[in-house]
Every structure is written in C-alpha cells, then in structure tokens.
Structure 1
Amino acid sequence: MTGDPFRLTVLGSATPYPSVDNPCSGYLVSGGRTHIWVDAGTGTLARLQRYVRLDELDAIWISHLHADHSADLLTAYYGALFADVQLAAPIPLFGPPGIADRLAHFLTNTATRSPVESAFAVQELHDGHRARVGAFTLTSRAVAHGIPAFAVRFEARDRSLVYSGDTAPCATLTKLAEACDVLLCEADSAQAPAGEDRVHHTPEDAGETARAAGAGRLIVTHVGPFLTPEEAVARAATRFDGPVDHAAPGAAFSV
C-alpha cells in the first residue's frame, strides 16, 4: 500500500430501513488505490458515488442477504451494465452462499435469467475464507445471525479493521477481532424475545466484544431506531475503556 491512509468511510448505518438522512448499512474501505464497498444496504449506492464510481471499485463484500445490507446490489447491477459505467471486467463480489441466484431471482423478468455474472464475479464466502484485493487481505468468518452471515477482517501492512456484520456475540467474531486497530461493531438496541436465539449485539455487547478482543478502538453501527447514537456510545463505553465512536453517515476514520 502506498502512503495513502487506510480509511473507513461510512455510507450509512441505519436499520432496519433508511432514515431521511441515513442510508442503511454500507461502508467504503480504501487504501492507496484500492476501494472496497462493504455491505450495500438501501441508499448506500448513491452515497458511494460521492467517493468512487462503480467502475472504480476493486471489490464488493456482503455480510448477509438481509435487505438492509444488500438491497442496493440490485440497482448496482443496472448501473454496471446499462448506464454510463464501462466495466473492464465484472466487479468481484464476495457474499454468502446463494447470492448470485438470489440476485438473479429478483432481477429476472423473462424466461431468460438475468446475467448477474456479467456485472459481478461472484465468490461465495465460507468460514475462514481469505482473499487478496489490491492493498488488502480479507479474512471472513461465519457469525451467529440465524442465517448465513459473516464478519470480515481487513489487513494492510500492520493495520487492521474488523467489521462484525450482524451477529450475536460469538467466539468467532472475538477471535477475528483479536488485537485489531478498529472494530466496527453493530449495536442494535433490541434484545431477543424470551425463548428465541439472539441475533444481534446490544451496545453493551459491542463494548464487551471490543474489550475481550483487545481492540484499539470501537465504532458502533447499526443502532436501532429506539436508541440514539449518543446512548449507544455511552452504553458501549461502560464495557470498553478505549475510544468509542458512532458510525455517523459521512464520517471517515483513519485506521
């Protein structure tokens, strides 16, 4: 990687639907000339274009197939193939098993399957999946969200960023985040109803995961609509002594 910063830019962090000023989950990870779109929640494609065009992306990485993390892949497909973008090759797309068929199901309107592979070079994630994208090494681990879901660690030189995706606290996320410089972790306010498996972190859980992993910094994201970002940060800070920030839309963080 060149001397350019390893940077996380927040495209959106709302859940379960976008607010008037905050798209759903989506992030841009950049370093040198490498740009990776991480989760493609509703509204994030518009924000992405403030920084890079679709044909300037080196890859897209999707944590799971809930709409607030993946819906803008549908419009990205049209942009990549039928608009003002000229792809030199399909965009590498890392996502959960079945992602190509899921996209094709939504995009196909005739008896002929839409050519999703013309826009995206799909690689299905699995627990322990590793890939090299430009300046970055990506390591993905399966996490606990009730459906196939993944967290990811980005490493470049001696710096590291871990993104939880959506998950309940789990050993695989803590291990993946061990000694990372920055942990971007969901902090949904909701607790699972009695008798149901947990599928999200609370803010306190996010702080505890950051503490257990020995993370250098915690950024809470995916804060539910019944909790303010300030409350989420304050609650996470009761379990983690390091810096705690909120993934506000448009915020940029150096790793």
Structure 2
Amino acid sequence: MTSDLRLTVLGSATPYPSVDNPCSGYLVSNGDTRVWVDAGTGTLAELQRHVRLDELDAIWISHLHADHSADLLTAYYGALFADMRLAAPIPLYGPQGIADRLAHFLTNTSSRSPIESAFDVHELHDGHQVRVGALTLTSRAVAHGIPAFALRIEAADRSLVYSGDTAPCAALTSLAEGCDLLLCEADSAQPPTEGEQVHHTPEDAGDTADAARAGRLIVTHVGRSLTPQQAVTRASTRFDGPVDYAAPGATFSIG
C-alpha cells in the first residue's frame, strides 16, 4: 500500500513569530488522518486554513517552550467555549507535566480549569509509540536541556522524522535512520563556545541527515541571525541529498 503522507508548515519562526511566519507548528496528514505537530505561537490560525480543531486526530508537542506549545492555551478555549462541540477530548501527546502546566496558566479561580475536557492527555517517554488513524508515531527523548522529544511518523511505505529542538544526538540519528524526510531545526549560527549545546547548526542538520541516510532534509526553526538560504546552503555542504527550507505555508509530499 502506498501512503499519501504530507507535511504542511504552519510556521517555523523562533523564538517569536515574525509578521509573516508563526512559530513552530506543522500539520501532518495521510488520507483522513491529521495530526497537529507542535503548537507554537500563531499556528492555530494557520491550522484552520486546513482543518478545524474538532477534526484533528491528535496533537503532539515536542517540548514546553512557548514557541512550540503556546497555542494550546487558545486551542483550549476554542475546543470548549466557542463554535464547536467535541465528540471527545482531543488526544494530546506531550512531555511529562503538560496538563498541569496548561492548567496552571488557565486556572483563574479556586477551581482548576478542566484541561482534560478539551485534551485527552498522554505523557511521552523515550520510545513511546502510538497508532493514530493511518499513522504510527514514535517518540524519542533528545538533548535540549529540558524534557524534549523528536518524532518519527510512518504511514505504510513512507516516513517523516521531526527533530523538535535538540542538539545533535544519537537518539535523533537512530530515530531518523532511513527516513524519507528529516525535518530538522537549524537554530544556531555557530556551535556554542562554552556550555551545553541545545540546538543544531545548519551543518549539524546536514550531518544528522547524512548519518541517518535520510532521503531529504528540510531545515526549520532557523535562527534569526541566519537567512533561510544561508541555512540551506550551509546544510548542503554536509548532506548530498535535496535540502529545502520549511517556508510557512509550504506543503511537502513524503516519498
């Protein structure tokens, strides 16, 4: 069976949205299955160009920095108090403590906001795997200085891997082994001169794609000291396959 796996870029800016690019967020679809991957600032608006909240099969969050998760707050209001009625809470996969983090922000009285009425929360762990419609989602813990995960999405004969935010690490390379497309962050212009590295440079992204034998590399979450073309050019010095930029609104067919 051949899949129709697609990646749509809702936004890829960091660490705050630009006038024409929301923060990190992606829609991954295959047939009637649709997953919102990361919910950075501004991505909920772009998501609605393609699918309503109540039509999603799941939401997956890599880590709890605001540029990857902040729109969960307004999604909560949309799911419970606006123009839709959920048949059931939306499955939400994210790092440990995600429900309490949302509730802490949203609760304004002595009664805890009913987060679980909007989201069916499942906490990720290293090696977590779940079937969502036509898709298999596998998560691996990666190196970002806080609990953070990368994601492999498989549909029949196609595969997509998303790095989330991470320094180069063996877990990401292993997860991405042989994937058709690697969506990898390239936040850092240069490796850190001291302290712990928590992001990829464009060269790192190329190295990870090469080591994993990925079919294609898409650089995303490009730091503001770089232009997208600079990031693509630099990644291409380390990876011989096709390299593109995760431009907002772009859709990539996988495979």
Aligned position for 1:222: 221
Q: 1:242 corresponds to which residue?
A: 241
CA contact (8 A) 1:7 1:29 kept: yes
Alpha-carbon deviation of 1:193?
4.2
In structure 2, distance between residues paired with 1:190 and 1:60: 30
**Percent same amino acid at aligned positions?**
81
Give CA-to-partner distance per residue, 1:68-92, whole Å, 9 cap, x none: 0000000000000000011100000
Q: TM-score, normalised by structure 1?
A: 0.98
Q: Flag structure 1 segments of 5+ consecutive residues without an equivalent.
A: none
> C-alpha deviations, 1:16-59, integer Å up to 9, x for none?
00000000000000001000000000000000000000000000
Partner residue, 2:133: 134
Q: Which residue of 1 aligns with 2:144?
A: 145
What does residue 254 of structure 1 align with? Answer: 253
Give the Cα separation in 2 of the matches to 1:30 and 1:130: 17
SS at match of 2:218: strand
Where do residues 49-128 of structure 1 align in structure 2 (5 Å cutoff)? 49-128=48-127
Runs of 4+ displaced beyond 6 Å: none
Whether the 8 Å contact between 2:39 and 2:71 is mirrored in structure 1 is yes
1:35 is the counterpart of 2:8:
no
In the alignment, which residue of structure 2 is the partner of 1:195? Answer: 194
SS of the counterpart of 2:139? strand
- The Cα RMSD (Å) is 1.0
The alpha-carbon deviation at position 194 of structure 1 amounts to 3.2
What residue number does 1:46 align with?
45
Look up the SS of the partner of 2:137 in the other structure: strand
**Does the 8 A contact of 2:3 with 2:155 survive in 1?**
no
Return the TM-score normalized by structure 2.
0.98
> Which ranges of structure 2 fall in alignment gaps of 5 or more residues?
none
Question: 1:75-119, CA deviations, whole angstroms, 9 ceiling, x for partnerless residues?
Answer: 000000000011100000000000000000000000000000000
- Residues 191-200 or 178-187, more deviating: 191-200
Rounded to whole Å, the distance in 2 between the matches of 1:52 and 1:86 is 15
- What is the one-letter code of the residue matched to 2:107? T
Are residues 251 and 181 of structure 1, via their aligned partners in 2, closer, same or farther at CA, if it must alter by over 3 Å? same
- Contact 2:184–2:217 (CA under 8 A) maintained in structure 1: yes
